Structure 1
Amino acid sequence: MMAWEAYQQIKKHLDDCKKPLIFFDDDPDGTCSFLLFYRYKKEGKGIPLKTAPKLDVSFAKFVKEYGPDKVFVLDIPMIDQNFLDAVHEMHIPVVWVDHHTPLERRYVEYFNPRKENPSDSTCTTANAYYTIISDDPEHSEQKKELWIAAVGGVADWQLPEYMEEFAEKYPKLLSKSIVKSKKPEKALFGSPLGRIVKILSFTLKGKMGQVMRAIKIMTRLEQPEELLEGTTSRGRFLLKSVEKTEEQYNELLKRAAAQRSEDKFLIYTYTDKESSYTKEVSNELLYKFPNKIIVVGREKGGELKMSLRSKGIVIRPLVEAALQGVEGYGGGHEHACGACIKMKDVPLFLDQLRKGVEEAEKQKKVTK
């Protein structure tokens, strides 16, 4: 995590605005980050990025239309300088909170734990939670949002420091033993809290109007049991809305798991006839097959959008190297990356990735 002074600076940015516009990644980490900020501020508007994890100049029109007094960007790994230039010309400050590979940009207040410590990938949800409690970390009224912070943290395969407190307060949702194991995948796939993560993830699928309605409802939830057990009409509505999505996901996961072989790689691709589940399927496949390199891709518009996972090998530099001579982009975390490659270049990308993995395994054997 960052120094408390950094979180207090972010909080001051929140406190000093009246009409914030918040762009956020449409995964559970980004969405929980938004929920924490919005539920604290109780003002403003949120826009999830559903097409690509990049904020380019085309999004400047939303800033101009809404007319905010400040723009926040949460859990978005890439912001084009031309977007920042356009917003700067509108005389609107931009605050960017992220935990991906740091970038050099002008006209932005940039908060990223990796700037000080490249190995600190504290998820954006945790950074958002630390922000809203930063005035009084031990007794802040905003600690009521602990359950949202827990959902976003575990969704990003992390067990932040506050998870012990969460397990103490919600023992039926997460056991202390799982927290002590320091294995977030156990929380994600082996606890009721993980079930809430999956429900949240499924509510973010579908058309923008449906997603925004679900997010609006989530801004009003008071307890995690609403999502897990449908204890309120709000919770029951969200549970009902994900039934079809969950059926699609389970079928896709079944087909993907069937691709398992002796190959070091488990590769599964599908078409855009179905919703995008690449992140969720790749995560669960890695949990089921931790010794595999997982590649799950969705073909759409002449491109293959992929989620790549690895447990034993740091895959990010290998993905970046595999992009050489390829039309596309990619990046992410040490063991979890995304990539978008033109279909004509997918074979080259995968071939270069295989060679990179083989070389990395040889190096591991040498160092041993």
Structure 2
Amino acid sequence: MLSNKQLEEIREHLEKAQNPLFFFDNDVDGLASFLLLRRFCGKGKGIAIKSFPQLNGSYARKIHEFKPDYIFVLDKPLIDKEFRDEAHQLNIPIIWIDHHPMPDYFREAGIHYFNPLLEGQEKDNVPVSYLCYKVIRKKEDEWIALLGCLSDWFIPEFAEDFAKEYPDLFTFTKNAAKALYETELGLIIKMLNFALKDRTSNVVKMLKNLLTIKSPRELLEVSPKTASIHKRYKQIIKRYEKLIGRAKSFAKNNKKLLFFQYGGDLSLSSEISNELSYLFNDKVIVVAYIKGAKANVSVRGLMVDVRALTAKALEGIESTSGGHEHACGATLQVEDLPRFRDNLLRLLR
């Protein structure tokens, strides 16, 4: 966990900022992190980052568009040099809050880096939304922090009290997977994940609406504020369930590995791999989304260090990879998928 001094330092930056620009990972942990900080300071714009795994250089144009005095980067393991250089040249500080393994440039001038791993205090299982909640300490936004934490398979210490206040939405359990797939809060997380995959204009409108919502129950009700979220959920859920059904049929192929690949116009690899990991918690799960010549791969494994496994299986293959001990991702050429799969099978024998 970050120290009280570090949490206070982030809070001071947040209070000092007059026009902050928030870049956050395109998932519910990233979204919740943004909402917590933005609702606290009441200022600034939020941008969901769709590039993987880094905040790539193309986002530097947003610095000129919004002219911020502070940049906050939430839940992204890497920031392209082009982006860092642009912020540095304009003398805009970057407040970078993360929980992934540290890059070698995190001490560059102008970067204020906050990561529990830097202190060597714990494994990388504390979500950024949990860190942001500890910064702002607003009881009324506890539900937002819980959504972010559960989406990253983490049960925070305030979950039990939340369950007493909202027994219809969440039954307390220390099993994060059960909380994610057997409660109404888990349904809300799925809805928000799907909504983040909408057109940019719709995501921008959703962010504005989420800044004003006071209770998680509001998200389950269709209203002018939530209509786009429910619409997107209905657009995606049947396709998602069909893919889950297809993927489950591959479970019998191998005792240790479930390898599933699919194509189409929408990537759901992270969500599919998470649910398959819940359903088959004794297996390593690999879900590959194919688009053109590239494959974006999500890897999960509750019993294995899949980050190390994936890195080993990708040796000699042109690729990028990164993530956490039990959940990581990679990008590689489609033609290299069979080799990647064979390497995994060999390593898992």
TM-score (norm 2): 0.94
Tell me, yes or no, if structure 1 residue 253 matches structure 2 residue 253: no
Tell me, yes or no, if structure 1 residue 309 matches structure 2 residue 310: no
Equivalent pair of 1:100/1:121 in contact (CA under 8 Å): no
Higher RCO, Cα 8 Å, sep 6+: 2
For residues 104 and 169 of structure 1, the distance between their equivalents in structure 2, rounded to whole angstroms, comes to 44
Q: Give 1:21's aligned residue.
A: 21
Tell me, yes or no, if structure 1 residue 110 matches structure 2 residue 110: no
Deviation at 1:207, TM superposition (A): 2.0
How big is the alpha-carbon RMSD for the aligned residues of Structure 1 and Structure 2?
1.5
Tell me, yes or no, if structure 1 residue 226 matches structure 2 residue 218: yes
Deviation at 1:118, TM superposition (A): 4.8
1:181-196 matched pairs, under 5 angstroms: 182-196=174-188
Equivalent pair of 1:22/1:74 in contact (CA under 8 Å): yes
Q: Give 1:363's aligned residue.
A: none
For residues 145 and 307 of structure 2, the distance between their equivalents in structure 1, rounded to whole angstroms, comes to 26
Give, as a single letter, the amino acid of the residue that structure 2 aligns with 1:248: R
Deviation at 1:120, TM superposition (A): 4.1
Tell me, yes or no, if structure 1 residue 128 matches structure 2 residue 124: no
Equivalent pair of 2:73/2:96 in contact (CA under 8 Å): yes
1:127-152 Cα deviation digits (max 9, x unpaired) = 1111111xxxxxxxx21001111111
For residues 54 and 203 of structure 1, the distance between their equivalents in structure 2, rounded to whole angstroms, comes to 21
Q: Give 1:169's aligned residue.
A: 165
Deviation at 1:341, TM superposition (A): 0.6
1:236-275 matched pairs, under 5 angstroms: 236-263=227-254, 264-271=256-263, 273-275=264-266
Q: Give 2:193's aligned residue.
A: 201
For residues 274 and 82 of structure 1, the distance between their equivalents in structure 2, rounded to whole angstroms, comes to 29
Q: Give 2:47's aligned residue.
A: 47
Tell me, yes or no, if structure 1 residue 357 matches structure 2 residue 326: no
Tell me, yes or no, if structure 1 residue 8 matches structure 2 residue 8: yes
Give the 4+ runs in structure 1 shifted more than 4 A: none
For residues 335 and 317 of structure 1, the distance between their equivalents in structure 2, rounded to whole angstroms, comes to 10
Tell me, yes or no, if structure 1 residue 288 matches structure 2 residue 284: no
Equivalent pair of 1:322/1:349 in contact (CA under 8 Å): yes
Give, as a single letter, the amino acid of the residue that structure 2 aligns with 1:20: P
1:254-301 Cα deviation digits (max 9, x unpaired) = 121122214021111111x23111111111111111111111111113
Tell me, yes or no, if structure 1 residue 149 matches structure 2 residue 145: yes
Q: Secondary structure of the equivalent of 2:68?
A: coil
Q: Secondary structure of the equivalent of 2:348?
A: helix
Q: Give 1:136's aligned residue.
A: none
Which residues of structure 1 form unaligned runs of 5+? Answer: 134-141, 359-368
Give, as a single letter, the amino acid of the residue that structure 2 aligns with 1:128: C
Tell me, yes or no, if structure 1 residue 342 matches structure 2 residue 333: yes
Q: Give 1:137's aligned residue.
A: none
Deviation at 1:71, TM superposition (A): 0.4
Deviation at 1:237, TM superposition (A): 4.4
1:294-347 Cα deviation digits (max 9, x unpaired) = 111111131100111111111111111222211110111111011111112222
For residues 235 and 45 of structure 1, the distance between their equivalents in structure 2, rounded to whole angstroms, comes to 20
1:233-262 Cα deviation digits (max 9, x unpaired) = 323442233211112211111121122214
Give, as a single letter, the amino acid of the residue that structure 2 aligns with 1:11: R
Equivalent pair of 1:98/1:112 in contact (CA under 8 Å): yes
TM-score (norm 1): 0.89
Give, as a single letter, the amino acid of the residue that structure 1 aligns with 2:328: C
Equivalent pair of 1:72/1:96 in contact (CA under 8 Å): yes
For residues 38 and 247 of structure 1, the distance between their equivalents in structure 2, rounded to whole angstroms, comes to 33
Give, as a single letter, the amino acid of the residue that structure 2 aligns with 1:123: P
Give, as a single letter, the amino acid of the residue that structure 1 aligns with 2:132: A
Equivalent pair of 1:71/1:92 in contact (CA under 8 Å): yes
Structure 1 window deviating more from structure 2 (342-351 vs 147-156): it is 342-351
1:166-205 Cα deviation digits (max 9, x unpaired) = 22322221123x1xxx210010011111111111111111
Q: Secondary structure of the equivalent of 1:24?
A: strand
For residues 262 and 53 of structure 1, the distance between their equivalents in structure 2, rounded to whole angstroms, comes to 30
Q: Secondary structure of the equivalent of 1:233?
A: coil
Give, as a single letter, the amino acid of the residue that structure 1 aligns with 2:191: I
For residues 331 and 287 of structure 2, the distance between their equivalents in structure 1, rounded to whole angstroms, comes to 11
Structure 1 window deviating more from structure 2 (79-88 vs 189-198): it is 79-88
Give, as a single letter, the amino acid of the residue that structure 2 aligns with 1:166: F
Tell me, yes or no, if structure 1 residue 297 matches structure 2 residue 288: yes
For residues 315 and 118 of structure 1, the distance between their equivalents in structure 2, rounded to whole angstroms, comes to 18
Which residues of structure 2 form unaligned runs of 5+? Answer: none
Equivalent pair of 2:180/2:187 in contact (CA under 8 Å): yes
Q: Secondary structure of the equivalent of 1:161?
A: coil
The one of 282, 295, 315 aligned to 1:324: 315
Equivalent residue pairs, number: 344
